[in-house]
Amino acid sequence: MPQSPTPDQVRQAQAKAEKLYQELKSGADFRKLAVSESDDAQALKGGDLGWRPAAQIPTIFADVIPDLTKGEVSQPIRSPSGFHLVKLIDTRGGDGKQISREQASQAIFQRKVNDELEAWTQEIRASAYVDNRLDKQ
């Protein structure tokens, strides 16, 4: 969808996502549909996001993935850029159990905190470097 979609554009995108979801439920090949229908950067890879630890799962998918079983496709998920369909191919690591919604949310929250802390640390270092250089002049 465009950056500021009209209500009609949202309805059209949602209808397309629902249609694709129904096709997938009827046995359509996820990879082929991703290549032919998706605008995502991973479309030409069949929509494959690769193996990711829970902390690296895109936030918009974090609430959906723990509820999926292997091979299952999510209902359309709305984001600012459009609608997404997620298929869980497999899980690995840990004890083989899927993580809970709370664990996924906590991992994503922790990643965001760590990212913010790192950015803040870099900002302080840069400021200290500039201050130090000014003091030497």
pLDDT in tens, 21-48: 999 999 999 999 889 988 888 778 788 8
pLDDT at 14: 94
Token couple for 66: 């723990």
Question: What pLDDT is stored for residue 75 in this prediction?
Answer: 94
Phi, psi of 70 (to 5 degrees): -55, 130
pLDDT tens-digit series, residues 98-117 = 556 666 666 666 667 767 77
Q: Which CATH class is domain 7-136?
A: alpha beta
Residue with the two structure tokens 């906590």: 106
Distance CA 29, CA 118 (A): 41
Of the pLDDT bands very low, low, confident and very high (cuts 50, 70, 90), residue 129 is low
> Cα(88)–Cα(5) distance, rounded to whole angstroms?
29
Q: Where are the domains of the chain?
A: 7-136
Mean pLDDT for all residues in the chain: 81
The total of other beta-carbon atoms located within 10 Å of residue 112's CB is 12
